[in-house]
Amino acid sequence: MKISSAVASKINRLIKERKLTLYKLENMANVTHGTMANIMSCKNESVNLKTIIMICKALNVPLSQFFDDSTFDFDNFDLDN
């Protein structure tokens, strides 16, 4: 799994829990639509930590809580590419 896939999956779960749209999250986090679209479509291998911090702050989710998920277990990632 790519890191970007794990991040996109976590964001999807968080916005569903909070009954938000991606558009609303983009505005709350001050993240451009293009950046969010790239994250959610997993176009990049990784995601900028600053962007994740902005999203976490908008969702009022501590960064440690965001990554405290089995999705982010080391064994889940293909880091060879």
Tell me the pLDDT tens digit for each residue of 31-54.
999 999 999 999 888 899 999 999
DSSP 7: H
Residue 75 lies in a domain: no
Look over the chain and give the mean of its residue pLDDT values, rounded to a whole number.
Answer: 92
Q: What's the total number of domains in the chain?
A: 1
pLDDT of the residue at 81:
57
Structural domain containing residue 63: 3-68
pLDDT of the residue at 25:
98
CATH of the domain at 23: 1.10.260.40
Residue 76 lies in a domain: no
**Full pLDDT tens readout for the chain, 81 residues:** 888 899 999 999 999 999 999 999 999 999 999 999 999 999 888 899 999 999 999 999 999 999 999 888 888 887 775
pTM metric for this prediction: 0.89
Residue 79 lies in a domain: no
